[in-house]
Structures are given as C-alpha cells and as structure tokens.
Amino acid sequence: MAVIYMWKRRRTDREGWDIEKVEEQEKNNRLNPQFKVMRTWFTEVSTISKLFIEGNFKCFILEDATRDHKIPDITAIPCGTYELIVSYSNKFKKHLPLLLNVPDYKGIRIHPGNSPSDTSGCLLPGIEKSDDDRKVFYSRKAFSDIFELLKVMCAHEKVWIQIMNEREEIGKPRYT
C-alpha cells in the first residue's frame, strides 16, 4: 500500500501531473466514449451499424445478428461500453484493435471483412453497405483509416467504445 501511495505521490509532485485530473479524464471518456457504434439495420444473419468517432460519422460496421441469447460465432456482442486497445492478434499475426471485458466473449476485435461469415462476434468496418443490409464494402480502406486514428488516440489516453441499438418508438429494433 505504501508503495502505491508513494508512486501516486511522486506523480502528483511532478509539474503537469495530477492524479485526480487523470482519473477524472478517464471517467469522462468512459461516460462519453470516443467511439460510438449505433446499430441501425437488423437482419436474421447480420447487424449493420454506423460508427461515429468523437461525434463524426466514419463508416459502417458489420456484425453478426443480435439475439436475446448467445449462440457461439453467430451472435453480436452485448450492448455496452468497452475499453478499446491495440494488441497483437495470434490469429491474424498482426496488431489489431481489441475490445476488453466483453461479457461471455473473448478476442473481440475490429478487423477487415465483408460478410457475416468473416466475423465471429468481431466488428467489421466498411465504407459502403449492401442494399440488403448483409454486407459492407471497401473494408480494408475503412479499417486502415480507423486503425491509424486509434493508434494515435491509444498512445495518449484510454479509448472507449460504446455499442448501442437504435430503437424505434415502440422500443424494438428494426428488422429488414
């Protein structure tokens, strides 16, 4: 306990370091996440969302279908707010964004892909979406743009992503 106290004390003694400001900033980021995914189009096999970064629309996101219960590899992750980091993926053999602490899921990443068969709960960015709301296109370009921005953001602060369903007035998702 004394070691942690002394470490915090040294940090706050340095000019420009204030532990309360750092903790307050992290709390604000979690309550107002930098990345927001608004699920908008729902089908029996897929969900397509709009991705906003700091309030600006960036691209579409393709996921598995949303369900009331989890079916491995074919169900979208639960709505919520998750920390977003960049880490090495053994599966893809390169660094990719990773969502932390997703209940009942492991290894949820953001990576390129075009159809529901390319995801096992992961988020797939795309610049355009198909008319039948089952695919996204130009995924590598969308991913590249997001990833470059995310690497810079993660180097300076904790980054959070919020996933939510867009609801109609009756409180149910729209199915197409």
Which amino acid appears at position 48 of this protein?
A: I
119-to-6, 13, 33, 142, 170 alpha-carbon distances in Å: 46, 47, 24, 16, 30
Q: Quick check: is 18 in a domain?
A: no
Least confident of 134-138, 156-160, 171-175: 171-175
Number of domains, the chain? 1
Q: What is the pLDDT of residues 98-154, one digit of tens each?
A: 999 999 899 999 999 999 999 988 999 999 999 999 999 999 999 999 999 999 999
Q: Is 87 helix (H, G, I), strand (E, B) or coil?
A: strand
For residue 60, tell me if it sits in a domain. Answer: yes
Of the chain, the percentage scoring pLDDT greater than 70 comes to 77
HSE value, Cβ hemisphere, 13 Å, CA-based, for 35: 30
Q: Predicted confidence band at 164 (pLDDT cuts at 50, 70, 90)?
A: very high
Q: In terms of residue numbers, what domain contains 51?
A: 34-165
The model's confidence at residue 28, banded by pLDDT at 50, 70 and 90, is low
pLDDT given for residue 27 in this prediction: 64
Q: Is residue 77 part of a domain?
A: yes
Report the C-alpha gap between 126 and 145 in whole angstroms: 11
Place of tokens 């979690």: 30
Mean pLDDT over each residue of the chain, to the nearest integer: 84
In a domain, 46, yes or no: yes
Mean pLDDT of 21-28: 63
Q: Establish if 135 belongs to a structural domain.
A: yes
Report helix, strand or coil for 69. Answer: coil
In this predicted structure, the answer to whether residue 55 has a pLDDT above a threshold of 80 is: yes
